[in-house]
């Protein structure tokens, strides 16, 4: 099962080389480029983790901000008491538990209930956390003081992204990944060939949620003061959906193609058109639906196939059979 084809080995080596190169970035720049690269890597992690679930199942999750917020808060709560790596893992577990609850409640029914539920989930958790904080804490926020610099966070997120990629790759080659593909193609057929669709969806949603939670946890040191509105910002969920769909979710590496340009775009928008981010996001969704339903990777793959098809067309015609 771990046998890799020569092209896959070449890809893996290239990937490791790219990773190593990216890791050296903080040595060259400590300001703007590091910050924006951090954002890119953050969203790369979030979007790839999101696609692990939403790609094969076609269920649009808007719970990303809820999971990452839970990760951030887990760290903020425990930062004075527990070691950081443990808190990151804990953040992942908390997010996975939430994913399990949400999944169990909504994934046994149709996809639309899932989308609706996750739409307000972030706001819901924000409200609850705010209430709990004001009732049991002195203020609505928590202080997070660490020795971590932006470079440290960058490296952590880079490592996490690599781990998510590895997981995605392993899943696609596995029976689990195949079962998920079948579910995405035709859920009724999936059930009739013996696939426990409900359980698979929930498990996958939990894996995806865990990674997102860990990303949020790693992000906590970036704020010195963690507050519910910034930790549980629904905008994160929407941006992740756009970037992932823009890149294309048919391949688990698709979202990466959407993350890089869109992160840069949003950064420019926040500088030059700060009040119009909603409009940009709205237009982005519309472009995705009408012009790029399979994302950029889908569109590129279509063009690729059409370029190769004329050859196949000619070959078949020469052999005298219908293509």
Partner 1 sequence: MEIIVTGVLLGGTYALIALGLTLQYGVARIMNLATGETFLAACFLAFWLFTAYAVNPFWGLAVIAPLAFVANWAIYLFLLQPLVNRAKDEAMLEVDTILATFGLLFLVQGLLLRTFGGAYMSYTFLAERFELFGSQYGLNRVVAFLAALLIAAALYVFLYRTRYGTAMRAVAGNPHSAHLVGIDVARMAGLAFALGGAITACGGTLLSTFYTFDASMGVVFTIKALIIVIMGGVGDVRGAAIAAVILGVTETAIASLVDPGLTLASTYALFTLVLLFRPQGIFGTRRS
Partner 2 sequence: MSAALTATRIRKAFGGLVAVNDVDFEVREGELLGLIGPNGSGKTTMLNLISGALKPDAGEIALSGSRISGLPAYQIARRGVARTFQLVRVLPSMDAEQNVLAGAAVGGRRLWGAPARKLARELLALVGLTGREHIAVADMTYIDQKRIELARALAADPKILLLDEWLAGLNPSELRIGIELIERINRQGRTIIMVEHVMDAIRTLCARCIVLNSGRKIKEGSVTDVLSAPEVIEAYLGDDDA
Q: Is 189 in the site for partner 1 (CB under 8 A)?
A: no
Choose from partner 2, partner 1, none: what does 191 bind? Cβ within 5-8 Å by kind. partner 2
C-alpha dihedral (236, 242, 248, 252), degrees to nearest 10: 10
Encoded one letter per residue, x for contact with partner 2 by CB under 8 A and - for no contact, window 138-177 reads -------------------------------------x--
Q: Report CA-CA distances (Å) from 58 to 34, 61, 145, 198, 280.
A: 33, 9, 40, 14, 24
Q: Is 275 in the site for partner 1 (CB under 8 A)?
A: yes
Query: 131 or 313, CB closer to partner 1?
Result: 131
Query: 131 or 199, CB closer to partner 2?
Result: 199
Choose from partner 2, partner 1, none: what does 98 bind? Cβ within 5-8 Å by kind. none
Helix (H, G, I), strand (E, B) or coil at 293: coil
Q: Is 137 in the site for partner 1 (CB under 8 A)?
A: no
Please state, as a whole number, how many other Cβ atoms lie within 10 Å of the Cβ of residue 223.
Answer: 17
Q: How far apart are CA 155 and CA 315, in angstroms?
A: 50
Q: Report CA-CA distances (Å) from 311 to 101, 227, 302, 314, 318.
A: 51, 59, 15, 5, 11
Query: 167 or 197, CB closer to partner 2?
Result: 197
Q: How far apart are CA 242 and CA 255, in angstroms?
A: 9
One of 68, 167, 197, 297 touching partner 2 (CB under 8 A): 197
Non-local CB neighbours of 298 within 8 Å, separated by 6+ positions:
248, 250, 254, 292
Choose from partner 2, partner 1, none: what does 305 bind? Cβ within 5-8 Å by kind. none
C-alpha dihedral (9, 14, 20, 24), degrees to nearest 10: 180
Shortest Cβ 75–partner 1 spacing (Å): 24
Encoded one letter per residue, x for contact with partner 1 by CB under 8 A and - for no contact, window 82-121 reads -----------------------xx--x-xxx-xxx-xxx
Q: How far apart are CA 300 and CA 294, in angstroms?
A: 9
Q: Is 321 in the site for partner 2 (CB under 8 A)?
A: no
Q: Is 189 in the site for partner 2 (CB under 8 A)?
A: yes
CB 99 within 8 A of CB 54: no
Q: Is 282 in the site for partner 1 (CB under 8 A)?
A: yes
Q: How far apart are CA 209 and CA 231, in angstroms?
A: 16
Interface with partner 1 in residues 209-268 (CB under 8 A): 234, 238, 245
Choose from partner 1, partner 2, none: what does 193 bind? Cβ within 5-8 Å by kind. partner 2
One of 283, 303, 305, 316 touching partner 1 (CB under 8 A): 283
How is residue 292 written in tokens?
A: 């790029």
Choose from partner 2, partner 1, none: what does 288 bind? Cβ within 5-8 Å by kind. partner 1
Choose from partner 2, partner 1, none: what does 278 bind? Cβ within 5-8 Å by kind. partner 1
Q: How far apart are CA 271 and CA 265, in angstroms?
A: 10
Query: 59 or 154, CB closer to partner 1?
Result: 59
Shortest Cβ 250–partner 2 spacing (Å): 8
* String of DSSP letters for 5-62: -HHHHHHHHHHHHHHHHHHTHHHH-SSHHHHHHHHHHHHHHHHHHHHHHHHHH-----
The angle formed by the CA atoms of residues 243, 249 and 251, to the nearest 5 degrees, is 125
Residues that bind partner 1 (CB under 8 A): 58, 60, 105-106, 109, 111-113, 115-117, 119-121, 123-124, 127-128, 130-131, 234, 238, 245, 275-286, 288-290, 293
What is the contact surface with partner 2 in residues (CB under 8 A)?
1, 175, 178-179, 181-182, 185-186, 188-197
């Amino acid at each position: 099962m771990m046998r890799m084809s020569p092209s896959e080995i070449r890809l893996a080596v290239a990937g490791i080389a790219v990773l190593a190169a990216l890791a050296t970035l903080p040595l060259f720049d400590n300001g703007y480029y590091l910050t924006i690269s951090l954002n890119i890597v953050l969203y790369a992690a979030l979007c790839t983790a999101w696609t692990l679930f939403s790609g094969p199942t076609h269920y649009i999750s808007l719970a990303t901000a809820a999971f990452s917020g839970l990760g951030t808060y887990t760290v903020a709560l425990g930062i004075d008491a527990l070691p950081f790596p443990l808190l990151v893992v804990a953040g992942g577990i908390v997010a996975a538990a939430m994913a399990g609850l949400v999944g169990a409640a909504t994934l046994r029914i149709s996809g639309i209930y899932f989308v609706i539920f996750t739409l307000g989930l972030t706001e819901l958790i924000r409200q609850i956390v705010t209430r709990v904080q004001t009732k049991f804490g002195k203020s609505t926020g928590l202080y997070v003081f660490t020795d971590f610099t932006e470079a440290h966070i960058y490296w952590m997120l880079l490592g996490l992204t690599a781990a998510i990629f590895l997981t995605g790759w392993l899943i696609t080659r596995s029976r689990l990944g195949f079962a998920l593909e079948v579910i995405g193609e035709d859920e009724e057929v999936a059930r009739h060939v013996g696939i426990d669709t409900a359980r698979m969806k929930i498990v996958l949603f939990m894996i995806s949620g865990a990674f997102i939670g860990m990303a949020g946890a790693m992000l906590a040191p970036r704020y010195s003061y963690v507050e519910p509105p910034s930790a549980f910002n629904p905008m994160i969920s929407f941006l992740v959906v756009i970037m992932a769909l823009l890149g294309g979710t048919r391949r688990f590496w698709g979202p990466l193609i959407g993350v890089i340009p869109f992160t840069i775009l949003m950064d420019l928008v926040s500088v030059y058109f700060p009040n119009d981010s909603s409009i940009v996001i709205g237009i982005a969704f519309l472009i995705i639906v009408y012009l790029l339903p399979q994302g950029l990777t889908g569109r590129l793959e279509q063009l690729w196939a059409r370029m190769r098809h004329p050859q196949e067309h000619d070959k078949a015609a020469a052999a005298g059979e219908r293509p």
